[in-house]
Chains A and B, each alone.
Chain A
């Protein structure tokens, strides 16, 4: 009998390939500043949205470190994060970890809810955050591929994910 619990999440009612990714406007954060941007104006080629738990969690750190290590931030696809943190927290995180990536700040977690990848946190009343999720979009914001965590925590098999998302 395991001495720890990996929490099985409720099935996510997430968006599926073929659907158009909902547009939204939020502060888009870099390691230096943030400004309001819409997803629609951002997407002009293949784009991968990376939803992570909030900044400060080990899950967010592990994922961004892994993606940087695997060269995702140098790809021609645009990699864009989404998380339920403030712009201040995100900007510091990107700066301190040398991550040249843009992340949408969505403290109210509405975007994750719209995309069907939200997660209410047990023991943190009133706080929700995205599940770990990857959503690949084409230049018209049509969803090509989706990977959503079913457990908490759960990390993808990155090689399989890259193959499924056409990133190898």
Chain B
């Protein structure tokens, strides 16, 4: 077989997202601003059709990111943005601990 498998060179970060969901777009914009490569996995509007997100993250809301390099899986757009900025950027303004399982007061994710 060839020396490289088909999964080599893929981005470490996977973003589970819903088309036209503003919370997902916020995370995508943050990923773009930080120059991070990511792949997008799109799911459907109906929560009952989001088994893959439930399996991966234990929730049915999106966005969810999986960061393979860091071993981090995270839901809630505000948490995700904090995590990304503190891990890959100059850090969030508040310096909040983002990688813990804080339940930020977002509540608005799709």
Which of A's residues lie within 8 Å of B, judged by CB?
A: 27, 32-36, 41-44, 87-88, 91, 95, 139
Contacts and interface: CB of A to CB of B under 8 A. Distances in A.
Contacts of B49: 32, 91, 95
Contact of B41 (A34, A95, A139): A34
Contacts of A44: 1-2, 5-6
A32 to B, nearest CB: 4
Contact of B51 (A32, A34, A36, A42): A32
Contacts of A87: 42
A136 B100 CA distance: 48
A27 B43 CA distance: 12
B87 interface: no
Contacts, number: 33
B39 A35 contact: yes
A34 to B, nearest CB: 5
Contacts of A34: 41-42
Given A32-B51, A32-B52, A42 B42 contact: no
A35 B42 contact: yes
Contacts of A43: 6
A24 B40 CA distance: 17
B2 to A, nearest CB: 7
B5 A36 contact: no
A88 B42 CA distance: 10
Contacts of B69: none
B83 interface: no
B97 to A, nearest CB: 30
Contacts of B51: 32
Given A32-B51, A33-B52, A42 B6 contact: yes
B6 A33 contact: no
